[in-house]
Amino acid sequence: MSNENRLIYPTVDLFVYDLADGIGQNEDKISQNCDLFLQKIYGDNISALQREQFKQAETETDDYIELLKNPNIAEFEPPLNGYSYPVKLGDTYAAQFDLSGKIEPDADKTPKEIDCLEGLKQEVISRINSPATIGQSWFISGQLTADDQDALTTAKNCYTKLNLFPNAVWDRDLQTEGQFLGANFYELWQPPGDKGNISQNHHVLICLFPYKSGQSILVLSKTFDEFDTHLILLFAYRNKVIWAYTQSRELKVRLKDSSGKIQQFVNRLLAQVNSPNVDLKELQKNLVDFLTISSAYASNISGLEQQENTIKTNLRNYQIRLKTISQKMGTDAKDFKFMGKFSIFVKDKYVWQVESDNRSLTAGLRLLENAIQTIEGIIEIERAKSDRTLNVTIGVVGAGIGTSGVAASVYASQIKSPASDKNSMDLNVVFGLSMGLGILPALGAIFLIIIGKKWR
């Protein structure tokens, strides 16, 4: 008789992904990322040797680096039947935590109530000291207890008992289902909202092996020996896509906030330009403000473009990995294609949305550039006006001095020599007249400058 509340060898796997070295992070931050990830593997009791071996493994240049050597897993303490398997994928740390309960004889043949899944889940979570910075995915597996046991109903019961998602609803959260190498697969997902909160991302893949008249699940799962490695990569690409999208939502909020400030600055600039009196100091202050906000805005636009590229790159890698799984493990190239629904979702929503945001928000950068050019142009014009005024003043003063010199020469030539008291007095008169002729134009020029400034 079938029992949809029981499974043989129920197992919980959690795949966790953390950022190892992000763009712009310094060595201290990168070292901190490493320590936080190490705590997931060893807890707080990390020896100097373990840390050194871990960091030495990171120096390898492969895209897929096993961070533990001989063995490549860290087994859970007895009597738990579980382990952690850490790797590094480019700029990302990844770890698989596998737990199937306690070490027991005939565990691969003895049915268990699926209520135990909750306890397995909590034990795994307790080992994760800090939230995953990029994301995580659950993989639940087990063998049906009878040939007539309904896989769909059993999967629904597993989903309910696990209580992985807030307000879990099977019909809403089920994304896709299919068969692969005789096992039934059910994928459920609650995507994060558009507020940029990665903790809202909840994902699980349930795999149920057939009973096959009591054939051991360990024998059946031999055909899945490579599957864990494929899942680590597949889930990495998937979580990287979702993480990049949530990052883009945060950038969009910042850019929209900056867009409002830009419009305020532009309106203020228009008022100043249309004013009869242009204040150079105020314009120069505005130029500094515009340059500051332009630098931040351009940086956020660049970040948005980077997230768009990250989404597209990891989506492509996800699609390639699906084909690889089918080609290397399946008998038909279409075997694992039912997991491709995620690709369609990402193309229709994530890629389209980020491309649209990039196009619309880049317009704000052009507005800033135009405003900066306008301010710089006005400042140059005002400076040119000041320079012309100064040149006219110098010319007038020079002409005045020149005139006084000519007048003095002409008048002095008419005075007879040798010098007498009368001649001396005449020279004083000449000097006074020449100075007067020179100073009057200069005073006039200064007066005009003052009047001009007053009426500007």
Residue 231 placed within a domain: no
Residues 153 and 176 in one domain: yes
Residues 135 and 73 in one domain: yes
Residue-wise pLDDT for 214-251, tens only, equals 788 888 788 788 899 999 999 999 999 999 999 999 99
Asked if the structure places residue 359 within a domain, the reply is yes
Residues 177 and 108 in one domain: yes
For range 35-62, the mean pLDDT: 86
> Range of 259's domain?
244-383
> Is residue 233 included in any domain, yes or no?
no
Mean pLDDT of 307-317: 97
Report yes or no on 364 lying in a domain.
Answer: yes
Q: How many residues comprise the chain? A: 456
Domain stops at, among 333, 353, 383: 383
Question: CB–CB of 34/54 below 8 Å?
Answer: yes
333 and 313 assigned to the same domain: yes
Cα separation, 114 vs 101, whole angstroms: 12
> Strand pairing of 135-143 and 202-209?
parallel
173/242 Cα distance (integer angstroms): 16
Q: Give domain status of residue 1, yes or no.
A: no
Same domain as 215, residue 358:
no
- Number of other residues whose CB lies within 10 A of the CB of residue 277: 8
- For 324-371, write each residue's pLDDT tens digit: 998 888 766 568 889 999 999 999 999 999 999 999 998 877 777 777
Q: Tell me, yes or no, whether 135 and 44 share the same domain.
A: yes
Integer Cα distance of 11 and 207 in angstroms: 10
Q: Which two structure tokens, joined as six digits, stand for 332?
A: 């038909």
* 438/208: higher pLDDT: 208
Same domain? 375 vs 255:
yes
* 296: its two tokens: 């931040």
| Residue at a domain's end among 362, 383, 404 | 383
Q: What is the mean pLDDT of residues 165-191?
A: 94
Tell me, what CATH number does 296's domain have? Answer: 1.20.58
Do 129 and 181 lie in one domain? The reply is yes
Residue 85 confidence class, pLDDT cut points 50, 70, 90:
very high
Does 331 fall in a domain?
yes
pTM: 0.81
Contact 134, 18 (CB under 8 A): yes
279 and 214 in a common domain:
no
User: 177 exposed, middle or buried (CB, 10 Å; 0-12, 13-18, 19+)?
Assistant: middle
Same domain as 81, residue 17? yes
pLDDT above 90 (res 183): yes
pLDDT at 386: 63
The predicted pLDDT at position 392 comes to 47
Q: Please indicate, yes or no, whether residues 79 and 179 belong to a single structural domain of this protein.
A: yes
What is the maximum alpha-carbon separation in the chain?
A: 147
Q: Is residue 177 part of a domain?
A: yes
Q: Which of 331, 351, 383 is where one domain is finished?
A: 383
* Residue 308 within a domain: yes
Name the phi and psi angles at 13, rounded to 5.
Answer: -125, 135
pLDDT tens-place string over residues 415-432: 444 444 444 445 454 445
The fraction of the chain above a pLDDT of 70, given in percent, is 82
Residues 270 and 188 in one domain: no
Domain count, the chain: 3
pLDDT one-digit tens code per residue, 116-169: 999 999 999 999 888 899 999 999 999 999 999 999 999 999 999 998 888 899
